[in-house]
Every structure is written in structure tokens, then in C-alpha cells.
Structure 1
Amino acid sequence: MVKSQDAFSWKDGNRPVCPIHSQVKLDILRTYIEAYFSTVAANPAIPVVNIHLVDAFAGGGVLKDPISGGPVAGSPFVMLNTVHGAQQTINASRTSTKLDIRARYHFADASRSAVSELTRGIQASEYASKLHSGDIQIDRMKFDNYLPHLLGRIPSNEKTKALFFLDQCGWNIATLDHCNAILRHLPKAEIIWNISVESLATFANENQDFRKGIERFGVDLGDAFTSQASFNHFSDWRKSLIAIFLDKIRKGCDANYVSPFMVQHDGWGYWLLHLSNHPQANNVMKATHWQHQNHSLHEGFAGLKMLEFNRDNFHQTTMFRFDEAAGKSTHEALFVELVPKLHELGGNVTRDDFVRAIANETPADVSRIDSAFAELKEEGHVRIRGPKGEQRRGGPKHGQDRISLPPQPKLFLPMSN
């Protein structure tokens, strides 16, 4: 979790201060891991889950709370503690087959002092045996060198479960090309990827060094710089640049699902992108952000145009904070936009196919989509039937429920542009 060599140094046993935005990211990581195992082990007959957990910017393991001065578990210990706790929680509710989470941990950092402190901390913890057995691997390597080394250690397999936490400093150490290399090697991997998008936008310019950085990242921003003169306000151009950058990531990413939500503190925004190839994983991450109200956010729309760039609407866009107000606006937007989308998709689809079609367009998780469909059904705008044709009360209950337009749809709902 190293952010800079000066601010995040573990020399001489020092514990760097853990800023608020880093604590939020750690909370999101913790919540997501808990939800991840609740999902993959939902079937009580599943006895074993094998998984690799990777923290490629691990830091020294323990940080300091800025208010109390007490210890704050860094990302390696968040992973270790949360997996251990998830197994205990799941097994407490099982009466027969107990769950064995067989996790392999891969921690790395470029800093000698960070690796030394992390190793010392784990050796002194309840996880020391995992270090001795090789279930915990710690490497002192720069990310460019570490990733191929790591992927050589984990055999390529389309079924291998892996969670990568890439909490880099800045925006182009862990790049789009790196993420695609991970996903090609391990298609079932999930990546939680931190990008300091405000830093990118603030220091963007046409000089050769920045262009080399963008090229290294793996995207082509086209004429984004030459268009700057056409904007009345620099802040509007920055928003345009960020929108283009995200669009390039989505189009160039090997993941089917990209959740581009932000964590903000003291005016600086950090994307915490979640990349995966499974719609359920995408939904779990969205639900995680809804649990962290006011800290998770995006600057876009509540419905099916989550981060659409619209230069005529810059100053009308309000901050979306996954709070009660955002929940209300999301429901209202979905009520208006779901029927036109259903019409666009042919007027008769399963709930799962509908969710897959809109996953990258909306901050809503499945529960909010189901709630909107329940109200639309109540007012006669859609029909919902089970897999055997049975009528549903309320919204969809199953992924294979079919949602369709009635024979004579009501006409007052606005159609999408």
C-alpha cells in the first residue's frame, strides 16, 4: 500500500500514517473479501475454495492511525485476517460440510524496509506457519519485474481463482497492459486497481514525458489535448480527459466488467476500479460500494449512463455518493430507463441477460434493478415470469426469470435517445 517513499517509509521500524482515503480503500477491500467468500461458498456442500490473493504494493503491513496513533492493519493483514474470519463465519453456520479456504498469499514491495517490516510482522503473528510453509510468499521487487515472476509462479488456468490488489502510487506503475496480462493468464482473476485519476488530470499536458507515460499505460488519448482550447473552463476539459481515459480503459480491457468508482479525500480522487469476467463479481463490488456511503462516489448519472461524457451537462452533474439520496435517484432513473432498454434488447430477456447487458452502464446492483422492475410490473409496464412460465409477484426472484414487455405497452415512459 506504498504511496511514496517519503510519506510511506518503514525505515527504522517507523509506521507511516494511514490517511483517511487509504482507510476507506482498506475497508472496501475487507468488505469485498467477506462478500466474495459468502458468494463463492453459498452452496453449503462446497468443501474447499482454492484461491491466490496478491498484494503487489504491500508496504510494511502495519500503519498508524492519524488520530489515535494506534496501529492500523495494512492490506496484507487485511487479506489474512478477513480470509480467516470469513472461514470462521461460514463454518459457524454449517452443520455438516465445513469449508476449507486454501489461500496462497503473494505479497511484494519495492522497498527493502517495507519488506523487512512485513516479514517481521508476519513472523510474529498467528500466520507465521503460513510463511514457513510457503502459503505466504514475500518478494522485494519492482512491479514491472514482479508481475512476470508472479505469473510464472501461478500456472495459467481458466478456472484458477485469484484476487489482485494493485494499490499503486500514481497512475501508471500498474497499467492497463499489466492488467490485461493478468487476465489473459488467469481469466477468472479479479483485480482491484487504484489509479490516482486526479493526479493524471492535474498534470496532463502535451510534453513528451506525459505522452510516454500514457503510452506506457496502454491507451491512446487521440486528440484529447488539441481539444483543450475548445473548452471554456479548464475543469471541464479535465472532466473530458477523464471520461476519454475511462472509455479507453473499458474498450482496451480484457475484462468484461469494469466498475469505475472513486474514493475521495481532501479533494483528490482515486479510482478504485474493479475488473472481472463474471457478472456476479461485478454485482458484489457494486453492493460493497453501496455499503460505504459518502466515501465511494462517481461524478456521473444515476441510471444507465453511469459515466457518460456530456459536455453540455457538466455543471448539472452532482456528486453521486451511494447514499440515501443516490439510492432514491437511482430508483427514479431506472424506473424511466429500464423499459426503453428492455425494448432495445428485444422486449423479452432473462433477468441475468438484462443485468449483463447493463452492468457497465449503471451503479445499481441487482437488488436495486429488481426493485425497479417490481414497481414497473406493479404499474403494468413489464411482465415477469419464472423459468416455467409462472407469474411472479413483485420483481424477479431468479436469474432465469423472463422480463418482457406487455402486448400493449403503456406509452408515457420516455424512450432513450
Structure 2
Amino acid sequence: MKKVLVTSVVAAGLFFAAPQMADAALGDQTLRVGMNHTDVTELQEALKSKGYFTFDRATGYYGSITADAVRKFQASNGLKVDGIAGPQTFAALKANGSTVTAASSNTSSATLRTGARGAAVTNLQQQLRNHGHFSSAVDGVFGPLTERAVRSFQSARGLSVDGIAGPQTFSALGQAAVSGSTTQAATSTTLRQGTRSAEVTRLQDRLRQLGYFNSNSTGYYGTVTTESVRRFQAVNKLQVDGVAGPQTLSRLHGSNAAAASTATETVSASSSNSSIGSRIVSSANRYIGTPYRYGGTTTAGFDCSGFIQRVFSDVGVSVPRTALQQWNSGTTVAAPSVGDIVFFATVNSGPSHNGIYIGNNQFIHSGSSTGVTVTSMSNSYWSARYLGAKRIH
């Protein structure tokens, strides 16, 4: 049980320390929310074989889905229902004697970047997936998709956005995992539109697990999150106000939360437009606070059309570079919907400024004096003349 094997990964001319390996047996340790371990993988597989763990695959991360599966198993087997996999739960699963080779999740001493390969990258991808920032195959290869996921996570956590997974990024991943281990903080507060916090990230994570939130978690409570909360409240027969108060949060993080799949929805062209519009706004929210930079197209600074181009690129939609080109390529709509581009004339009669409509007569844009921010349409931004809205998706 004490033998340790240390391996290393060579990639792009650099050496990266891979996780240590140690023999372990399922049941030797108590498993609970926030843990990332191959013992958790085996627990999930055992629960899946008995019909309690319904996620499409074992992840190795002990999140709310695993805790709910353990609770259901415990309730069915007359055990104490606490969502913690301890000796009695393992005995009931008849899994105490099985052994696995366990990989430690401690990779915080490594620095991973594009070109890296191996178990350390696999673990990074899995953690990013657990927090909703990585949706591709976990393959142990640090390529463009992994870099983009790291950037997304860094942006959501207020870190330096460089796409490199170093100590700060790994530390934030660990803190994010630990923050998922309790619902006390979440259920004792009220979250509403405009809030930015780790509690909002956790809210979004849970809404996505239940099928109400289809974007990456950003930590910002915008119109997309508000709409998702409204849908959750409606399906779960709560007061529908889009505000996540104690009652909503208690139901959301409880074992009796109803998933979106329990509601009957009609799929149509309008709902499709609404879905992509929500994803556009979710992406835009991630960049709030980014400074303005003339000609800017990166997170170091955006101009108005550079911001539009980046946001639409995030959701897989290609748009031209300038405000005028974006105006010419769009389809005119009578009234803007969430995700449409609104245009203004600021220096002449043509379109010279634009932003993304987010609902409630508001739009998000990169202004020369504000950077990326939310502004009311009624404020007549820069005393500009509103020209209309276009749809490019």
C-alpha cells in the first residue's frame, strides 16, 4: 500500500511533473463532496451499475450528482442519508475488497501549457469539465481547446487570463472544488441579477447539471442566469421571480430538485434563436470589466466591434471586424431580442458603435470611457442616435 511510482511527461521541450501513483482500496477512505480521486471513479461505477449514478460516465470528481446518487442508495438500503460514502455505504455496495491504482489530484506544483501531454493534463481537463469550462474529450493533450477552457476558467475566477495552468489556476480549481462541499453559504444568502461571486458560479454549475443553464459558468448573475432561475422556479413550483433566495437555493441544491427534462418544451425556430442568444449574452458577461482599447480584439482590451467579434466567436459564429461591416452583414429586426446587436451613430450618420442586447432595455458593450459594461438603452449612450438592431446568428 505504500509503493509510490513517480512519472514525468515530456512535452514541447519542457518536463511536467505527473501525479504520484499509489495503491489504494475502495473503502480505505471516506469519500465526500469536493474530492477528486480514482476511488470516486470506482464508487461512481458501482453506483452506476446499480442504477443510482445516472451521469453518462464516471468522472472521478465527487460533486452534487454523486452525492445525490449516494443519498438515494443510502435511503434505499436503510442507511443514514448524508451523501457521504463511508464504511457502512461501502459495505452495502459490497465494494470493500476491490482495489484500484489511484492518482493523486495534486498537480498544483506543475505548470501546464499548450503542447503538454499526460496524466497531469488529463486531470486538469477533468477538473475544468467538472466546473463547466471544458466540453471536449478528456484526452491528456493540452491543445487549443484546453487552452481556451483554461482562459475561460481564469476569466470567471478573476485570474490573469493567459491560458497557462500554473499554481494560481490550480489553487483556484481546488478552491472551486471545496466550495462545492456545502450548501450552507449558498442557502443563507440571496443572489440576484448583477451579483458577481463564487456563489453565483455554484448556482450556475447546479442549474447546468439540472438542464436549465446551457452556458459556461461565469460567476456573473446576468439575464441568462435570471432566465434559467425562472425556468427552475416554474418547474419546481416556486415563486417565479428570477431571484435565487433561500427557498430557491435550498430546493436547487437539495436531492428533490426537479430537472428541466421533467418539463415539456416545444422546440421551434424561436426557441433556437433564444438558446443561441442566451449563449451570446453568457459569453459577453464573462468580459465585463475588460478595458477599452482602440483596435483591440483581445482580453487586454476591446474596441466595440472587436468585443462583438470575440463574443460571437466564442459561440461559434463568425462576424466581420468593424461596426459598419457587422451592420451590413446582419439581418434587420423590428425590435431587438437577447443576443441581437444594437447599433448607434456617434460620429456621423452611419453605424460607429454597437453592443449586444441583453434584455430589459439594456445592452453590453465596450465603451471608450467605461470598457466592457452594461448600459441602458434609454441613457442615450454618448448622446448617440440609435440606428436599430441586427441579428447575426
TM-score in same-fold range (> 0.5): no
Q: Which has the higher contact order (CA 8 A, sep 6+)?
A: 1
The normalised TM-score by structure 2 is: 0.31
Structure with the higher helix share, 1 or 2? 1
Q: TM-score, normalised by structure 1?
A: 0.30
